[in-house]
Amino acid sequence: MHHNEKEIVLLISNTCDVFFNFTQMSKEWKIGNLKTDDREELIRRVVEEDIPALNLAGKITLGELAAKYGNPESDRAFQLNDYKDYLLNRYLEDVCVKA
């Protein structure tokens, strides 16, 4: 699972939405918004890595992701971390749509 290293790098969208640099800029990975969210709360979410996507990611194994979203017939090639991200993002899209 992704996490902050020694340095925290954030991505800021043109609408002031904040994301970790190790994620895609999608609603599932959104930390908050610089214009609308409390600054202290944004800092807490960043430091504690408290966002829905990371909380959900900790509740499912790679094996479960592969069983649900993997395709044993596929001939696509991925680097392992890219494939993990792909599977995790498929899961997050499903879970967040149903919520």
The residue among 34, 61, 58, 36 whose CA lies nearest residue 48 is 58
Q: Please choose, from the candidates 29, 73, 33, 35, the residue with its C-alpha nearest in 3D space to the C-alpha of residue 52.
A: 29
User: How many other C-beta atoms are found inside a 10 Å radius of the C-beta of residue 60?
Assistant: 16
Q: Dihedral sign, CA of 19, 95, 81, 59?
A: positive
- Mean pLDDT in order along the chain per 10 residues (99 residues): 74 94 83 97 93 85 84 76 80 72
pLDDT of residue 97: 60
Task: Indicate the residue type of 22.
Answer: F
